[in-house]
Amino acid sequence: GLRGLVNLGNSCYVNSIVQVLTHIPPLRDYFLAERHTCKLNETPETCFVCEISRIFQEFYSGNKSPLILKHLLVLVWANIEHMACNRQQDAHEFLMIMLNYLHEQSAPLKAAPTSTPSTSPLSPSSSPPPPLSSQEEGGGGGNNNSCSCIIDLIFTGKLQSDITCHVCNGVSTTIDPFWDISLELDNTSRGGRWGGGGGPDMTSSQLQNDASSQSSSSSSSSSGSSKSGLAAATAAAATAAIKTDGGGGEGGGGGGGGGSVSLDECLEQFTRAEHLGSIRCNNCDADQQQTKQLTVQKLPVVVCFHLKRFEAICENVFAKISKIITFPLELDMTPFMSHRRNGTTPTPTPTNAPDATSSYRNYCAQILEDNRYSLFAVVNHQGDNVGGGHYTAFIRQQYDEWFLCDDSKVTRANITDILNSEGYLLFYHKQILEYE
């Protein structure tokens, strides 16, 4: 699974994301078992999932020579107009768009052919784990995502937004899916309102939702056409996009504030109650002072934290925040869960798969309720400003073996290198998937 990737001209943003995807255990198991059945039967050469499946086969073939991702780049250029050039792009935006295409072109996972529970919750022989039920409190809505494709089973979580009236104490709850969580690095501002977005059921209008629209308890829209999903992913990522022109500037010393902050502090800020001022309360039928709080209602198997290192200081001008962000090798998300904040206990919804055994359902419930994570990948952006830069990725292959993937070069890295890096995207997977 260790293989360099040739830089085809400012394609390091592609290389860094592909390195991460190929080292996600359940995604690796899925593609190496060749579970993908192309939905584009007449033109499989236009299928992103077919191409990613081919890349997985190449990665784990034993060949150590650097791989050329020419066809993947051609697919990107053919389908994503603003990326159809030899200019550097935002790795976060590329990740969201890739997940969206993989989601749209992946077939739902079928139930296991036997009733024997698998040892891995998302292994090729297992049926999909059951989703947790959506909470609908205080008149709020929830959209229970029914997709069972491999992307949703691995990456989809749910954010809960509670708006509380100071007069009647009524709570308006909205639950939205997410594929990543975007975190502000400036502790004077409100943390990443809706995460990075990109979930299949989210729309760009929801990502930009202001307080007044949320007070009406609007639910997220159901998954629609492929174009609407891509638009949501692109609109979400564009708010923090890096539009860098070439250049391989090494080092991370840019502007945008010094000092340091921890990932826990960013998450605490993200889930901190926010005073909205006076907005309409449906229960009171009047404008009242209200407070909004975001929490995590359901955690995904793999969680991606997008550290918003680029902020707009004026039109088309971005400044880089080079603040040191400390992050742990092991992370417990329990303090940021909805049930922890509101004192409720989540109840797993049994799977509808006819051959799923009781022990398997219980095992899946245990996985979904386990809030402990292990770091397995970090994507870094190196460079002094948004006019030039370079992406690399730290990848963990075994429990204590880390490697720096810098395009075609793959070298060993130590823990100090990882923890002192200028992380842009942090990837954690549930500890139950830990390497033996």
CA distance 10 to 118: 42
% of the chain with per-residue pLDDT over 90: 37
Distances (CA, A) of 127 to 59, 286, 367, 431: 26, 49, 14, 20
Across 65-92, average pLDDT: 86
- pLDDT, averaged across the chain: 73
Nearest alpha-carbon partner for 241 in 177, 196, 193, 209? 196
pLDDT single digits (tens) 286-298: 888 999 999 999 9
**What is the pLDDT, as a whole number, of residue 434?**
67
* From 12, 50, 281, 304, the catalytic residue: 12
Burial class, 222, CB count within 10 angstroms (exposed 0-12 / middle 13-18 / buried 19+): exposed
Q: What is the DSSP letter of 256?
A: S
Strand duo 310-314 + 181-183: pairing = unpaired
Active site residue 85: no
Global confidence as pTM: 0.73
| Burial (0-12, 13-18, 19+ Cβ within 10 Å), 85 | exposed
- Which of 36, 381, 390, 429 is flagged as catalytic? 390
Whichever domain contains 86, its CATH number is 3.90.70.10
Q: Which residues contact 411 (CB under 8 A, 6 or more apart)?
A: 403, 404
In-domain check, residue 44: yes
Partners of 178 in the β-ladder: 157
Judge whether 337 lies within some domain: yes
CA atoms 154, 156, 159, 160: torsion sign: negative
Q: Which two tokens stand for residue 83?
A: 């990326």
In whole angstroms, what is the distance from residue 286 CA to residue 196 CA?
33
Q: Which of 64, 61, 83 is nearest to 14 (CA)?
A: 83
Between 251 and 54, whose confidence is greater?
54
DSSP E strands, 263-371: 274-281, 286-298, 302-307, 310-314, 317-320, 324-326, 330-332
Which tokens hold the place of 428?
A: 């954690």
Report the pLDDT value the prediction gives residue 383, as an integer from 0 to 100.
Answer: 83
Q: Could you give the number of structural domains in the chain?
A: 1
pLDDT score recorded for residue 342: 60
Tens of pLDDT, residue by residue over 112-136, are 443 333 333 333 322 333 333 333 3
Residue 243 to residue 87: CA distance in whole angstroms: 8
Q: Is 12 a catalytic residue?
A: yes
Q: For residue 17, is it within any domain?
A: yes
- Give CA–CA dist 13/88, Å, rounded: 7
Q: Is residue 373 domain-resident?
A: yes
In a domain, 416, yes or no: yes
Q: What is the pLDDT of residues 347-392, one digit of tens each?
A: 444 444 444 445 544 555 555 568 999 999 999 998 866 556 899 9
Would 364 be classed as within a structural domain? yes
Provide the residue range defining the domain that includes 420.
12-433
pLDDT at 162: 92
Give 108's pLDDT tier (boundaries 50, 70, 90).
confident
Over residues 167-194, the pLDDT tens digits come to: 898 898 999 999 999 999 875 444 333 3
SS3 111: coil
Nearest in space to 237 (alpha carbons), one of 179, 291, 293? 179
Contacts of 222 (CB under 8 A, 6+ apart): 143, 201
Flag whether 215 is in a domain: yes
Name the more confident of 107 and 308.
308
Q: Is 330 domain-assigned?
A: yes
Stated length of the chain: 436
